[in-house]
Structure 1
Amino acid sequence: MQKFVEVLPDRQAIVERSLFLLVEKIQRTVAERGQFTLALAGGSTPKPLYEAMATQELPWDKIHIFWGDERYVAPDEPESNQRMARLAWLDRVPIPASNIHPMPTGAGDAAADAERHEAELRAFFQLGAGEFPRLDAILLGIGDDAHTASLFPQTAALQVRDRLITVGQKDEQPRLTFTVPLINQAECVMFLVTGANKQDAIAQIFAPEADAFTYPARFIQPQGELWWLFDEAAGANL
């Protein structure tokens, strides 16, 4: 694993830096392998990045979009990660509909939809039994409790090692989420982190020793590159 930690002046600087990194990776990977697979994060922090991505000239037919987690709501609900990314970016560029792979939330049963999405990923990546795909990039954030994706402290989802997709729980609300081993298989994981309210979580994530079940972002140790991009408020104590 190659680890990069950058503290940037503000959110706009994070947008510019992550945009540069992502565009460069897309162009290089498409040139080398003809395809780029990207998993998106939800929340407010990456939205300006998605808006900036919508202004780029990229080989959209070679880019496949996934989500690292999704609230268990209909795709037209305001809380939907898919809806946010479509409005900010995907509906504004000529990406083929077949290249967008949202997490399904319509079965009325989160576990059933997790199994369905797992089957979709296994078919897309042509995986054998026990294999995990290697996404080219996964975007993540953290909460002030150090959760990432929908991997929340002291929840059963943190212990899943034999699945690609599982059900995460925030309070009593189910969510679909990538599992720890799926995230860790990635070529590149990029955390975008803003706000002084994240400082305590960051201190525990970067501490020499701490309990990963209490601070789940500690579990993220990808095979490839790990990028941490902080604004000054979040990274002040690093």
Structure 2
Amino acid sequence: MNPIVETLPDKPALIDRGLAIAVDQIQQAIADHGYCTLALAGGSTPKPLYAGLAKANLPWSQLYIFWGDERYVPVEHPDSNAGMAKQAWLDHVPIPTEQIFIPPTHHPDPAISAQAYQTTIQRLFDSLQKAPTAIPQFDLIFLGMGADGHTASLFPHTPALAVHDQLVTVGMKDGAPRLTFTVPLINHSRQVLFLVAGADKQAALEQVFAADGDEQTYPSRLIQPQGELRWLLDAQAAHGLALPV
């Protein structure tokens, strides 16, 4: 399936468009099956979108929140993806606390934390669907993309890219561990929404959208969900690119 790529004039317009898509997807999922499962992204780009969601009128008790990746720091740490989303959004709306699943980062061995988060995801989806499921299907996964072409904590030429028998694994950046969804889990989603802003992303985007390219060097190429794939780019990120149509 070809991606849907939209170019917005600036970052505020990108955030507004992303907010509209997210609200629509949340409402559609709840209409379809009575709940919505979301996996959030970190970084600076989605923060204002989360702040916008905090002001939305949504059936909060029907949302289940996860994170597609997390730095291996406590939630109180300024680098925590979960901490950012809590401050911008989740602490301001009545989502039941037992429906917010913060990645565990307290165990000395990140691999044990990855397995624990996988078990949490599996149990929740088995409960919601009232049957075991091989690969859980999120309703919406937010993703960003770094200037190096990484997404979630799937960094170029790292072992996490080759993990196909787990839902969650350990990603590595400059020797520091992170927890990350694996490619198969992301690709099983009903919708993946990339939010990409800034001129520093142009070179990587050119390779990600190229007809042929190296997935190990530009891991965002690996994201090809069975559902809908949307890319929202601001004008700086999209400048000069030959985009899919």
Q: Same fold (TM over 0.5)?
A: yes
- Per the alignment, residue 54 of structure 2 pairs with 54
- Per the alignment, residue 208 of structure 1 pairs with 211
Cα pair 1:71 1:175 within 8 Å, conserved: yes
> SS where residue 87 of structure 1 aligns?
helix
CA shift, 1:114, in A, is 0.3
Cα pair 1:155 1:169 within 8 Å, conserved: yes
- Per the alignment, residue 221 of structure 1 pairs with 224
Residues 151-182 of structure 1: CA deviation (Å, up to 9, x unaligned):
00000000000000000000110000000000
Alpha-carbon distance in structure 2 between the residues aligned to 1:60 and 1:102 = 17
Cα pair 1:45 1:192 within 8 Å, conserved: yes
Q: Residue 191 in 1 paired to residue 194 in 2?
A: yes
Cα pair 1:125 1:133 within 8 Å, conserved: yes
Cα pair 1:2 1:224 within 8 Å, conserved: no
> SS where residue 167 of structure 1 aligns?
strand
- Per the alignment, residue 121 of structure 1 pairs with 121
- Per the alignment, residue 109 of structure 1 pairs with 109
Residue identity opposite 1:105 in structure 2: T
Q: Give 1:161's match in structure 2, choosing from 152, 161, 164.
A: 164
Distance 1:29 1:128, change over 3 A: closer
Query: How many residues are aligned here?
Result: 237
| Unaligned segments of structure 1, at least 5 residues | none
Query: Aligned ranges for residues 41-190 of structure 1 at < 5 Å?
Result: 41-126=41-126, 128=132, 131-190=134-193
CA shift, 1:31, in A, is 1.7
CA shift, 1:102, in A, is 1.1
Cα pair 1:141 1:148 within 8 Å, conserved: yes
CA shift, 1:237, in A, is 1.9
Residue identity opposite 1:195 in structure 2: G
Cα pair 1:51 1:88 within 8 Å, conserved: yes
Residues 80-137 of structure 1: CA deviation (Å, up to 9, x unaligned):
00000000000011111011011100112100000111111111111747x1111000
| Unaligned segments of structure 2, at least 5 residues | none
Residue identity opposite 2:177 in structure 1: P
* Identical positions, percent: 53
> SS where residue 225 of structure 2 aligns?
coil
TM-score (norm 2): 0.95
The alignment yields a C-alpha RMSD, in angstroms, of 1.0
